A and B are shown apart, each in its own frame.
Chain A
Amino acid sequence: MIEIKDLHKSYKMGSNSLHVLKGLNFNIKEGELVAIMGSSGSGKSTLLNILGMLDELDEGSYTLDGVPIKNLNETKAAQYRNKFLGFIFQSFNLINYKTAVENVALPLYYQGVNRKERQEKALKYLEQVGLKEWAGHLPSELSGGQKQRVAIARALAAEPKVLMADEPTGALDSQTSYEVMDLIQKINDDGNTILVVTHEPDIADMCKRIVHLKDGVIVEDKKVDQVRASQYV
């Protein structure tokens, strides 16, 4: 599903150049649940941004579902993001004046789905994350865990190839974190490919594979026995 070859990325900081990613190689197959771990500054968010087409790579190649991702203009990138990717952010990034169901329906709007169908699909995904009865509420009326579940429903609504979660539990307490991870595991059980960036080992242990980044290189890439979050819920 995802193929990364010799990926380099550096940022210019004034006259200095900061080499963040120093030649990464890895593949992610369909249906995997991968945790990208590392301390802050290890380059994990940069990697996710590149994989999410929110940022551009300097060197190397990136192939997503057989499509080479290179030299995309904004319009093309937007199309690919809409078609291939679903994002889950640490700070949820829901649109505050839209209700839960409208937030979930938003990626469908950009896919050109008509209003009625959007509404139906959005409700379906809200039901999947257990928030159907909260459909008409604004984000400000929801708890943190509920907001993240709405965000997950939104990421699912576009039916992407890969879900990308950037510290999805970073703003949540541990109980709520486990609830969210339980949801992510269930979505993965349905066959979705998911990438989770985290620095919390217990969250990483709930994935099936951990890629450990340190100073811009992969120091460890191992399969793990998944800890089911449901036992904590």
Chain B
Amino acid sequence: MFDIERWQEIFDTIRKNKLRTFLTGLSVASGIFILVILLGFGQGMQNGIANEFEGDANNLLGVWTQVTTKEYKGLNPGRPIILSNRDYDYIESKYSDILEFKSPNLRIFNASINYKNESGAYQVQAVAPNYQQIENAEMLQGRFLNYKDDASVAKVAIISKKIREELMPNEKNPVGKELKISDLVFQIVGVFSDKGGDFDESRLYIPQSTGQRVFNRGDSLSMMYFTLKPQATFEKTLAASNKFNSEIETYLKQVHTVAPDDGSAINTFNTLENVKRFMGMMKGIKLFFWFVGICTIIAGIVGVSNIMLIIVKERTREIGVRKALGAKPWSIVWMILHEAVFVTAVSGFGGLIFSMGLLEFIGPKVEVDYVLNPSIDFNVAVTTVLLLIFAGAVAGFFPAWRAASIKPIEALRDE
């Protein structure tokens, strides 16, 4: 199979027809290049979106309230609805077997925080111990809140890495130190960081009971958070989560005397729905990228076959001469195919290596929202190149075969 003489003949031809070879190669290499970059960015977008969701628990369900917009049972619209500990306790006990993590949340916006001479305004959230899992907060030092803190209404606080850097840049380990929240002394028991970034780190956590007491909020809550235990499949989890969602919404509307069709007073969000939406969107985007990529490859194949046709046309006379000198038809076909396959293979893998190198070097440096570390499955890329080579060979075969079956006398007459 390996015929050194034929290779030498091919290399001679390639060396002496640089422009032709270059153009063929370019169309193949750019096709592969575009495909790899497109697929790489498709993967990058998927990674990026997955990363955005990593910040929070994936099947998080949140409840918050606003004012009513509809009159109901003689009550005027515009009545503020406020969640309470009773609502939370009811849901917690009723759904205890399907809930995984849960936490009430009381927010105090722009509380002034002092540490020694430094001060700043941050959001204080009074939460339950489970809130660590709900926010995916990572403890850098110390611990998160526990049930004892809540039961004893302890004045303890978990600060973020950002607050530590801003208020106590010289303090390596602030655990055990004291800071003031709205002039009340709290003890720092932990430092957390959150992949959610700046927004999720501009806050500190204190126990729910402490928050309600020291800020004089009675038993009111700003929000409630729940995550459900994952089911066997995503679809089932989603169904369970939707059911839970609508049940608690109905319950809360009843308890707070809100019109069943009031879309504004009781609000819920369900990240699972978002995940599903994003996954659908990702599928669409990936499909689109594949579509564009495949179109590019088809354009590449058409380009290759076009060039092959031109090559054969251009070489008709040469083929006639070769046949007159004793070239067998198959040797003509092989000569043309061999060259086409060789050029396609070299430039295809060239484009592959170049684009993968680019992804490898540039990929990790890409810092755009929703794009993270674009990369491509090597097998997919290699398969594409092989496919292109095969297509190039098929595209080259027919003109080559036609050329080889022309009678030399006709080929020689060709001007």
Residues of A within 8 A of B (CB): 49, 52, 54-55, 74-75, 78-79, 81-83, 87, 89, 93-95, 97-98, 102, 106-107, 109-112, 114-115, 154, 158
Contacts and interface: CB of A to CB of B under 8 A. Distances in A.
Nearest to B325: A107
A74 B12 CA distance: 26
Contacts of B161: none
Interface residues of B, number: 27
B60 to A, nearest CB: 70
Given A98-B12, A98-B16, A110 B321 contact: no
A54 B326 CA distance: 11
22 contacts: A49-B409, A52-B324, A54-B409, A74-B405, A75-B330, A78-B323, A81-B324, A81-B326, A82-B326, A83-B326, A87-B324, A87-B325, A93-B317, A93-B321, A93-B324, A93-B412, A97-B13, A110-B322, A110-B327, A111-B326, A154-B325, A158-B326
Contacts of A111: 326
Chain A facing B: main interface SS? helix
Chain B facing A: main interface SS? helix
B407 to A, nearest CB: 7
A80 B399 CA distance: 25
Contacts of A89: 412
A54 B321 CA distance: 11
B321 A95 contact: yes
A106 B404 CA distance: 17
B17 interface: yes
A115 B412 contact: no
B236 to A, nearest CB: 67
A158 B325 contact: yes
Given A75-B330, A98-B12, A110-B331, A54 B324 contact: yes
B5 A114 contact: yes
A75 B329 contact: yes
B100 interface: no
A107 B322 CA distance: 8
A189 B328 CA distance: 32
Contacts of B8: 115
Nearest to A45: B409
B326 A107 contact: yes
B9 interface: yes
A54 B325 contact: no
Contact of B326 (A49, A79, A97, A98): A79
A13 to B, nearest CB: 15
A74 B325 contact: no
B303 interface: no
B138 interface: no
Given A78-B327, A93-B412, A110-B331, 9 more contacts: A49-B409, A54-B324, A54-B407, A54-B409, A55-B409, A89-B412, A94-B321, A106-B325, A158-B326
A110 B13 CA distance: 16
B12 A81 contact: no
Nearest to A73: B329
